[in-house]
């Protein structure tokens, strides 16, 4: 496979239990880049802790539309971005067309990365690998492809707080059962140590993502346009239930109102690792 092939011809193996997730996240398409913009302060935290150097080989797992990959490449690293959703990868390629060094994108499952052992000087995932169904397998793959002494940086949502509450609103109206274990478990340092501690020395830093909107209508439109899990619920609901869903989402975001508009604060954890 070469970078000159269309993204649709560079499909890696997506495990069957991730096929529904690939379709769901892919619904955001190019507009998912706006979602990444909304959490870009947290992404920047992880990139700075990864501290990529010019020429280093960096893997971005669950790259989405490539926001993280582009910002790592801007520091001179040679970046490979992988994701399970072809629609997001297509957008990533288009958005990265003028980035140097050139970013290589391909479809791949976090639980079965198509790279040799110790292929990368650093591995990063920003609100991405945490959604893999088999958490220990995905964590082991992060360690396998990172060279000894290489860096790891993950940013994951806290297991309680704003994001947990918001996922609860989505889950109330969606038909899918909540995943077990929860993706938010990655935000518990003890759980992260269980997943990653065999391969990495670990450190943790907590942070708060700050996101601003004029009003609840703006935030609804932002999510409905680019956030696949929310688009999926909206598309599945009849019109009457869509109205009830919107009412709950608006009520949730209304509590972030300030005199200047909405100031949404979402708690996160950065997991910093050095490969043993």
Q: What per-residue confidence (pLDDT) applies to 8?
A: 46
CATH number belonging to domain 7-158+177-212+266-275: 3.40.50.150
206 CB-near residues (< 8 Å, 6+ apart) = 158, 267, 268, 269, 270
Residue range 83-103, pLDDT digits in tens: 999 999 999 999 999 999 999
- pLDDT tens digits for range 211-256: 999 999 999 999 999 999 999 999 999 988 999 999 999 999 999 9
The domain ranges of the chain are 7-158+177-212+266-275
Tell me which of 100 and 176 has the higher pLDDT: 100
Closest by alpha carbon to 156, among 256, 240, 262, 267? 267
pLDDT band at 65 (very low <50, low <70, confident <90, very high): very high
- Tell me what the pLDDT averaged over the chain comes to: 94
Task: Please spell the DSSP secondary structure of 202-266, one letter per residue.
Answer: EEEEEEEEEEEESSHHHHHHHHHHH-HHHHHHHHHS-HHHHHHHHHHHHHHHHTTEETTEEEEEE
How many alpha carbons fall within 13 Å on the CB side of residue 78? 6
């Amino acid at each position: 496979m070469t970078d000159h092939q269309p993204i649709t011809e560079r499909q890696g193996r997506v495990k069957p239990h991730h096929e529904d997730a690939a379709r769901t996240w892919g619904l955001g398409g190019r507009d998912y880049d706006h979602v990444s913009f909304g959490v870009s302060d947290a992404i920047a935290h992880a990139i700075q802790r990864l501290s990529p150097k010019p020429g280093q080989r960096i893997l971005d797992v669950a790259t989405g539309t490539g926001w993280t990959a582009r910002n790592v490449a801007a520091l001179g690293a040679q970046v490979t971005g992988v994701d399970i959703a072809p629609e997001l990868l297509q957008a990533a390629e288009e958005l990265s067309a003028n980035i140097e060094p050139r970013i290589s994108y391909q479809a791949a499952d976090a639980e079965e990365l198509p790279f040799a052992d110790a292929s990368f000087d650093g591995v990063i995932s920003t609100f991405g690998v945490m959604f893999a169904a088999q958490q220990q397998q995905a964590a082991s793959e992060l360690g396998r492809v990172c060279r000894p002494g290489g860096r790891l940086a993950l940013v994951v949502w806290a297991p309680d707080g704003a994001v947990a509450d918001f996922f609860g609103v989505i889950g109330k109206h969606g038909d899918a059962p909540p995943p077990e274990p929860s993706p938010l478990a990655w935000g518990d340092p003890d759980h992260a140590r269980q997943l990653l501690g065999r391969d990495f020395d670990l450190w943790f830093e907590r942070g708060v993502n700050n996101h601003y909107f004029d009003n609840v209508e703006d935030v609804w439109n932002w999510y409905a346009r680019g956030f696949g899990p929310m688009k999926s619920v909206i598309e599945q609901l009849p019109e009457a239930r869509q109205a009830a869903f919107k009412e709950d989402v608006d009520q949730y975001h209304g509590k972030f109102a300030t005199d200047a508009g909405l100031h949404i604060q979402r708690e996160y954890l950065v997991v910093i690792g050095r490969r043993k």
